[in-house]
Amino acid sequence: MSERKKVVLATRNQGKVKEFNRLFADLGWEGISLAEFEEVPEVVEDKETFEANALKKAITISTYLNLPAMGDDSGLEVDALDGRPGVYSARYAGEDATDEQNWRKLLTELESVPMEQRTARFRCTLAFVVPGCDPIIATGSCEGLIAREAKGTNGFGYDPVFYIPEIEKMMAQLLPDEKNQLSHRARAMHHLLQKLQ
C-alpha cells in the first residue's frame, strides 16, 4: 500500500483535526496538526471574510514548511444578529473565551428573539495550497436554528445550540459519521475533493 499523502492542517484545534482526518480517510491522505511543528509562526486571523482568513493561513503555512497545506475558517452566522458572530465566532465572548462562554453569550443576545427568527448557518471556507500552484478554494454551509438551550455532548464550538430542523437534532447530538454527512465542513470538503479530482 502506498504511503499516505501528508497535508498540514493550519490549525491546532484537535476537534477540527479529527473531523478532517475522518473526511480525508477515503483519499488516503493524512492531515497533520500544526501542533507537530513547534517552530511555525502563529497566523493571526485578522481578515474580514472566511475566505481571506483561510487563504492567509494556508499560504503562510505552506510557504513556511514548503508542504501542501489546508487552511479553514469557519463560523456561525445568525440572521437576527446581522450575520454575527461570523469571523469572530471563536472569540465572540473574548479573546480566550471557551466554547461554552461563546454560545452562552449568543443565547443571551437572542433571549427575546422568537424561534422562527433564530435562523442561522454554519459556514466553512477551505483553502488548499500546494507550493508553486494556484490555491483551491471550496465552501460549504449548513442551515439551522439557534435553540433556546444547549443539548448534546458531541462536537465543539456552537454545536450544542445549533438545531437542524431536517433531522430534528442538535449538531452536538450527532455521531461523528452523521455529522460528516451534513456539516458545513463536510460539505466544503466534498466541494474541495471534487475540485482536486
pLDDT at 1 over 50: no
Domain count, the chain: 1
Whole-number percent of the chain with pLDDT over 90: 72
pLDDT, tens digit, 9 for 90 and up, residues 27-83:
778 899 998 988 888 888 899 999 999 999 999 999 999 999 999 999 999 999 999
pTM across the whole model? 0.86
- Under a CB-based contact definition with an 8 Å cutoff, are residues 21 and 33 in contact? no
Q: What is the dihedral of CA 50, 53, 55, 61, to 10 degrees?
A: -140
Tell me whether residue 82 is one of the annotated catalytic residues.
Answer: no
CB 50 within 8 A of CB 73: yes
pLDDT in tens, 102-114: 999 999 999 999 9
Q: What is the CATH number of the domain that holds 180?
A: 3.90.950.10
Positions of E strands within the chain: 5-9, 29-33, 69-78, 119-129, 136-146, 162-164, 169-170
- The residue annotated as part of the active site, out of 46, 72, 73, 134, is 73
Domain that holds residue 107: 5-196
